Amino acid sequence: MRPSLYEFAGGEPAFLALAAAHHRRCLADPELNHPFSHPDQHPQHVARLAAYWAEVLGGPPGYTTIAGGHSAVLSMHAHNGDMDDLGRRFVRCFVDAMDDAGLPVDPEFRAAMRAYMEWAVADVLVYAPKDSVVPTEAAMPHWTWDGLSAG
């Protein structure tokens, strides 16, 4: 049986490195810089981001335990209006951050990770309109080598 994407990436240290590299890239991007440099950003943002991605990609339920799950993520990013260009930039930073973090260069792994982030950005952007209603009990997504898992 194939390891989870989390395990294949290298576990918690790999996801902490990925989240830190992604955060640095977003801060360096002239358009993404503003949302990533907000003074009200959680002081543990990078660690929480790593825990979220880890949980979604096959790791332990750390994010759900400390921060409330997927509905909390959707709510945090909701009601910001049109953000399509920011979404594309976010994905680009994620893809490039995999190199920065030294994640495996295996093509199937990279394709699965990119597909996850493209799906995740699209999922968040559903709630970008000012009048959107974010579900209060959204299930934590689980992404595998084959895409979104049904269970």
pLDDT at 28 > cutoff 80: yes
| Structural domain of 81 | 7-145
Domain-located, residue 18? yes
Q: In this structure, what CATH number is given to the domain that contains residue 24? A: 1.10.490.10
Mean pLDDT check: name the lowest of 3-12, 21-30, 109-118. Answer: 21-30
Distance between CA 137 and CA 74 in Å, rounded?
Answer: 11
Q: Which residue has the higher pLDDT, 78 or 143?
A: 143
Averaged pLDDT score across all residues of the chain: 86
Number of domains in the chain: 1
Domain-located, residue 1? no
Distance between CA 36 and CA 43 in Å, rounded?
Answer: 12
Domain-located, residue 2? no
Q: What is the pLDDT of residue 79?
A: 61
pLDDT at 136 > cutoff 70: yes
Distance between CA 145 and CA 108 in Å, rounded?
Answer: 8
pLDDT at 109 > cutoff 80: yes
Query: 148 - beta bridge partners?
Result: 143
Domain-located, residue 60? yes
Give the Å distances, CA to CA, from 23 to 3, 109, 135, 139.
26, 21, 27, 25
Record the pTM.
Answer: 0.88
- DSSP for 68-110? --HHHHHHHT-S----HHHHHHHHHHHHHHHHHTT----HHHH
Domain-located, residue 151? no
